[in-house]
């Protein structure tokens, strides 16, 4: 409402003498007279308020559309610029249908509440669609336990392959405790993978380097939170409920065709 009143004040000022534009030069009496005139004008012409509201709303909607278009253009440029790193880095997990006609890249953190909410919904969409290539970018940004969780996941992929990784990925999405040798054994048992192989690879410099490379890519892609997805050439920043996410998939396919 304050914006509307400011706009109205500007409209009224146009009708006042030139010297009235500089309110700082008014005396107390002149300022009070000005306020009284504004109030009187609004009481006599209440329809002006709705007209001003419509003008302001129109301007804000036009600016919002302009900003959204600029953001979409920027996102398209980012995906085009970093396409190889996104889709063909040679080390990230690839699931879903590796031959699918649409690729979804997910930047995630295992300790992220919204990543955990999105996970079962995304898995169900992958099953229903059957034509989506899904790439996971380990992007731990919520502290050391997030980093440790990603190290467990990557060590599983590195030593035991994509099927073992997906099982571990599912388990980590529900695990909230600290990552240590004891918990790795517990996680490995739940995921039906080899704990000793994970522990042996856990501190591998190659794993640290992979996390660093994804972090670098995320910064270049302006990924400030998780989950963040690229859906074809579309970037979705944050969690979307399942039906909205399906709509984003349709839009992403339309941009890619």
pLDDT of 166 strictly over 70: yes
* 82-104: burial string, b at 16+ Cβ within 10 Å, e else: eeebbeebeebbbbbbeeeebbb
pLDDT of 194 strictly over 70: yes
pLDDT score, position 15: 44
Q: Identify the weakest region by mean pLDDT among 22-31, 170-179, 223-232.
A: 22-31
Which two structure tokens, joined as six digits, stand for 214?
A: 């994804």
Question: Could you tell me the pLDDT band of residue 64, with boundaries at 50, 70 and 90?
Answer: low
Which two structure tokens, joined as six digits, stand for 101?
A: 């006609």
Listed as own residue / partner, the contacts of 209-212 with beta carbons closer than 8 Å and 24 or more positions apart are 210/91, 210/138, 210/154, 211/138, 211/140, 211/147, 211/150, 211/151, 211/154
d(CA 33, CA 39): 10
pTM of the model: 0.74
Q: What is the pLDDT of residues 121-154, one digit of tens each?
A: 999 999 999 999 999 999 999 999 999 999 999 9
* Residue 13 vs residue 158, higher pLDDT: 158
Question: Could you tell me the pLDDT band of residue 14, with boundaries at 50, 70 and 90?
Answer: very low
d(CA 79, CA 85): 9
pLDDT of 20 strictly over 50: no
Q: What is the pLDDT of residues 195-239, one digit of tens each?
A: 999 999 999 999 999 999 999 999 999 999 999 999 999 999 999
Domain boundaries, the chain: 2-81, 83-256
Asked if residue 49 lies in contact with residue 42, where contact means CB atoms within 8 angstroms, the answer is yes
pLDDT score, position 10: 52
* Second-level CATH architecture of 83-256: 3-Layer(aba) Sandwich (3.40)
Asked if residue 126 lies in contact with residue 95, where contact means CB atoms within 8 angstroms, the answer is yes
Asked if residue 124 lies in contact with residue 242, where contact means CB atoms within 8 angstroms, the answer is yes
- Which residue bears the tokens 């970018």? 137
Tell me the mean pLDDT in the region 12-28: 58
Mean pLDDT of the chain: 87
């Amino acid at each position: 409402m304050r914006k509307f009143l400011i706009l109205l004040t500007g409209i009224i000022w146009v009708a006042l003498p030139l010297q009235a534009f500089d309110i700082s030069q008014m005396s107390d009496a002149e300022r009070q007279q000005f306020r009284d005139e504004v109030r009187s004008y609004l009481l006599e012409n209440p329809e002006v308020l709705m007209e001003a509201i419509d003008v302001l709303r129109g301007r804000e909607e036009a600016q919002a559309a302009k900003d959204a278009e600029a953001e979409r253009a920027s996102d398209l440029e980012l995906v085009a610029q970093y396409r190889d790193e996104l889709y063909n880095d040679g080390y990230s997990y690839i699931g879903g249908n590796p031959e699918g006609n649409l690729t979804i890249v997910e930047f995630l953190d295992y300790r992220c509440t919204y990543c955990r909410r999105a996970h079962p919904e995304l898995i169900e969409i992958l099953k229903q669609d059957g034509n989506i290539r899904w790439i996971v970018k380990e992007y731990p940004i919520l502290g050391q336990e997030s980093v440790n969780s990603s190290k467990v996941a990557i060590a599983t992929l590195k030593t035991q392959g994509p099927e073992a990784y997906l099982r571990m990925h599912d388990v980590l999405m529900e695990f909230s405790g600290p990552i240590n040798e004891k918990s790795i054994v517990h996680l490995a048992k739940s995921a039906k993978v080899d704990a000793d192989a994970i522990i042996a690879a856990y501190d591998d410099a190659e794993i640290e380097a992979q996390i660093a490379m994804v972090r670098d890519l995320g910064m270049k892609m302006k990924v400030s939170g998780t989950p963040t997805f690229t859906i074809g050439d579309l970037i979705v920043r944050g969690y979307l409920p399942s039906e909205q996410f399906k709509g984003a998939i349709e839009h992403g396919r339309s941009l890619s065709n």
